[in-house]
Structure 1
């Protein structure tokens, strides 16, 4: 039934949007091309969703099908908005003339080519953007650098740098050269420590088989530390048994150790410099709105004094809002990911920063500060669902810690 509903909605949108094409052209080859593309795209989507397992796993092929569906469907929604608006005006005009001159035959004015031309021109923008996002945007890596000042930062860590990456989603990658470039770009920052804030895979540990060696190349003086994200637990897979699910998670944890990463599971480690230290805390995934709540801040901070300087890695930024920012644990800086910035939005530094995900997450990209405590939400290294990025580019974050000078 759900496939029938999907198909009916798709075809209704398709037919209605076609009115703009028919207004501008009487060429039957154009009509044929329009419907051929539409049928091919919906056919590929249905095939990808029915030919494979019934699980919710998003393979690269499924994501490609979904991306193509978005690329042809969203522009048609734009067309419909214009067409429907014009149809409403045409209807009112027809009714007006019928009421004011009832002797005349009732008619609705013909559709105007100007409106159809404008609609098609505007619809071309999301079409081109979504296709660009799939072709280039998903690997358009950006290094974003911040300097954060703290009154109580240990002197030895004045100038200390950390590089944060998040949401690798290795099961989505389809270009080794581009991913290798990004890994090299992380190392080129030469930060004191590299911190990964969860979602190494989409669903299963085996997704890292082709990328294990590459991500093992990540190196920093104080090491590479990581935490788990919601996708790392395998919750979105139909496992043959609970034992298989547990085995997969155990393999994912072991794999990070084999790559030379230090996985923190509701625990902390100390980073030391010249006899001083700061605490690096890592919790398991804690997310609001139905996401897994395995994170335990109390356990992770056990034994830490309130006045010690603390950096927390927690995958989901909703954890900061719910538990961390006002916690008596006094966490100075939290590093999160998870939102991907929805992989779609508009960002012009100093002017605008917008994505639909802002209506779901209060903290969705970049640095935020409340009560003198900070969170950085990384926009993500990889991608999931829509196999691309538009306006919200994949991110490598570099944060320098500075001790605030009293003047």
Structure 2
């Protein structure tokens, strides 16, 4: 209860500060009332959804997700305004001190705010405000197909030109627009890849989240099939289950569902993909994540019956596994496919110029292709979204990788 009180007080202090900026810029009362109404409604909805509106058994329901998204949008507007105007207040305070002690003023008074500075502050604050709203309205379904050609000295001849489509982090429990998902599934199939690989997190928490979308994902098609692994959210670890049996049954239901929609689920296992007499090993491990994330992945078990010299593609949900374990393993994994980070669903990417997201402070390998010790990893930015119900700058991704024999 205390944390709610502290949060509400801090929220209104930020709001009052922003209101002062609005009053400096405009004299129309309806602007003030509109801002106050929006701020109060957004806060009220957030408190309701995360207290009385709690849905049993779900960590982050769709209404809660949107409540968080709108609160984040308003807070971003307030914080940017305050950070900009606070520097002006420091100057106003120092000016007041100077005038007081220099004798130029008999009273300690603040100079008035400068209108143009408040306008600049509010203008800057409107950028993240608008971007976050756009991210919820359009950005989360702004699917991008990213294509890469990767060359290898020891790629079997039969796989020169072999095409892989990777998707990751579906998080079907967050979806709210069937037409957009139909479009994305069709976009995957239009790539006409030889194989489709899904690298984990089919749901947010519960297998039932996928049921309304199962018929769509069942239409995914590739000549060599479609393969999948589990991500950290697939185990149901973020739900307060009534019993361990219920949690176990949820995982079994998810495994069954994946198989019913045509995925060959690899649980620390491998399969061989073949072209004539040539073959490559496809290895899939369960989730292995640094820190507090589940470490069910067993790389040794997954490759127990394959040859050390085989060309290998590894599916591992969390890129920290590649950094901490895979890179330094005695086996050479030519290509690892991961996801997990979502690129934090927020960042700036201009190809050839800049690639930045706050998630880089948590994960060294967080989006796109990396190469270390002669081994590649692709970290997919994710198909769906979680938490904040949108994406800004880091768009949902369908990866197409073509394997090439180096001349």
Q: Which residue does 2:3 correspond to in 1?
A: 2
Structure 2: which 5+ runs fail to align? none
Contact in 2 for aligned 1:164/1:195 (Cα 8 Å): yes
* 1:103-118 aligned within 5 A: 104-118=106-120
Alignment RMSD, CA only?
1.1
Partner of 1:77: 79
Q: Retained in 1: the 8 A contact 2:55–2:61?
A: no
Counterpart position of 1:40: 41
Q: Please, what TM-score do these two structures have when normalized by structure 2? A: 0.98
SS at match of 1:120: helix
- Alignment correspondent of 2:220: 218
| Cα 1:201/1:363, change in 2 over 3 Å | same
Matches within 5 A, 1:296-307: 296-307=298-309
- Secondary structure, in 3 states, of the residue corresponding to 2:317? coil
- Counterpart residue number, 1:243: 245
Distance 1:275 1:5 in 2: 68
| Conserved? CA contact 1:301–1:329, under 8 Å | no
In 2, Cα distance between the equivalents of 1:384 and 1:53? 16
CA distance in 1, matches of 2:96, 2:189: 67
Matched residue SS, 1:286: coil
The partner residue of 2:296 within 271, 277, 294 is 294
Which stretch shifts more, 58-67 or 237-246? 58-67
Q: 1:56, 1:75 → 2: CA distance?
A: 29
- CA distance in structure 2 between the aligned counterparts of 1:377 and 1:56, rounded to whole angstroms: 27
Q: Hey, what's the Cα distance between the residues in 1 that align with 2:91 and 2:226?
A: 61
Residue 162 of structure 1 aligns to a residue whose secondary structure is: strand
CA distance in 2, matches of 1:345, 1:55: 31
Q: What SS is found at the alignment partner of 1:325?
A: helix
Secondary structure of the residue aligned to 2:212 is: coil
Tell me which moved more, 248-257 or 45-54.
45-54
Structure 1: stretches of 5+ with no match in the other structure: none
Q: Alignment partner of 2:50: what SS?
A: helix
Q: Which residue of 2 aligns with 1:157?
A: 159
CA deviations on 1:64-110 (whole Å, 9 max, x unpaired) are 11111111110110000012111100000000111111762222211
Determine whether 1:335 maps to 2:352: no
Partner residue in 1 for 2:394: 392
In 1: Cα distance, 2:291 partner to 2:83 partner = 32
Q: 1:281, 1:310 within 8 Å by CA — same for their partners in 2?
A: yes
Instruction: Tell me by how many angstroms 1:193 deviates.
Output: 0.3
Corresponding position of 2:319: 317
Does the 8 Å contact 1:283/1:297 carry over to 2?
Answer: yes
Q: 2:171 aligns with which of 166, 169, 172?
A: 169
Using a 3 Å threshold, how does the CA distance of structure 1 residues 184 and 103 change in structure 2: closer, same or farther? closer
- Residue 56 of structure 1 and its aligned partner are, at CA, apart by 5.7
Does structure 1 retain, via aligned residues, the 8 Å contact 2:99–2:105? no
Distance 1:224 1:97 in 2: 74
Number of residue pairs matched by the alignment: 405
Map 1:8-407; keep pairs closer than 5 Å: 8-51=9-52, 52-53=54-55, 57-101=59-103, 104-405=106-407
Question: Structure 1 residues 103 and 135, CA, compared in 2 at 3 Å: closer, same or farther?
Answer: closer
1:341 match: secondary structure? helix
Q: CA deviation at 1:160?
A: 0.4
Cα deviations by residue, 1:315-347 (Å, 9 ceiling, x for unpaired):
000000000012111111000000000001000
Residues 55 and 236 in structure 1, CA contact (< 8 A), matched pair in contact too: no
| CA distance in structure 1 between the aligned counterparts of 2:329 and 2:34, rounded to whole angstroms | 60
Q: Deviations over 1:207-237 (max 9, x none)?
A: 0110010000011011000000000000111
